[in-house]
Amino acid sequence: MSGNGVRPTGARAYSDGTGTFHPPERRLESGGSIRGERRLRVDACVIGSGAGGAVVAKELAEGGMRVAVLEEGEWWETDAFTARPREMSTRLYRDAGQLTTVGNPPIVLPLGRGVGGTTVVNSGTCFRTPGAVLERWRRELGLEGMDEAALEPFFRRVERILNVAQVPPKLAGRNAEVVRRGVERLGWSGDFLYRNVRGCVGSGVCAFGCPTGAKQHVGIAYMPRAW
């Protein structure tokens, strides 16, 4: 078991020494390098490697199925993240981050492109589905067996794989501490967020690819389990 909770299948992934596992090149193939017709025999083909696709691929592969994952973006190594927003926006986001919904008003809908999908460019904030929401789903949608107690082991499993932990006060910074004191004086409830990181130093460029490899997006925390 690696530092980020990944159990490589058949030693197909390799460690970079930081606790993160990466796929061997033979398991990755760029679409641009394929010439002519290519046929693969697999049990399942997963479209997309984001928060949904990566988890599905991992579960199917660990269940013994041969899985192929198709992803429109690239596999990004940590040293490719330059921390320069203008440069990384065009590389990591679909339509350079300008995709919008149709409505009044329209809403900007940033979608990540790459192994790991939008988890590569989100802030890493992770929280459990609130009990009130689960109860509403049960009441309005008829989803039984999904209360907090039933989902507890699944939440814990995901949190272990992603290394979810509360942001320490030192990393949150003085401004966050001021806000927390204000919340306490008002009698409100609140605390620092929980995030899926390992060794975060507060670079502040989560939205443009973590330059230190601290963010445990599903591309590095889940996808190696499907290889």
Q: Do residue 51 and residue 140 come from a single domain? A: no
Q: Do residue 94 and residue 155 come from a single domain? A: no
Q: What share of the chain is helix, strand, coil (3-state, %, to 5)?
A: 40, 10, 50
What per-residue confidence (pLDDT) applies to 15? 54
Q: Do residue 101 and residue 201 come from a single domain? A: yes
Q: Do residue 145 and residue 84 come from a single domain? A: no
Q: Do residue 73 and residue 13 come from a single domain? A: yes
For the chain, list the strands marked E by DSSP. 14-15, 21-22, 44-47, 67-70, 164-166, 194-196
Residue 180 placed within a domain: no
| Phi and psi at residue 189, to the nearest 5° | -105, 145
Q: Do residue 16 and residue 50 come from a single domain? A: yes
Q: Do residue 157 and residue 70 come from a single domain? A: no
Q: How many CB atoms lie within 10 A of CB 23?
A: 19
User: What are the per-10-residue average pLDDT scores of the chain (227 residues)?
Assistant: 39 52 64 82 94 95 92 91 93 91 89 95 95 96 94 96 94 91 94 94 94 95 87
Q: Do residue 87 and residue 114 come from a single domain? A: yes
Q: Do residue 20 and residue 92 come from a single domain? A: yes
Where in the sequence is the domain holding 139, given as residue range(s)? 125-162
Q: Do residue 16 and residue 96 come from a single domain? A: yes
- Counted domains in the chain: 2
Which positions ≥6 away from 124 have C-beta within 8 Å? 195, 196, 197, 200, 206, 215, 216, 217
Could you tell me the pTM of the whole model? 0.81
Residue 183 placed within a domain: no
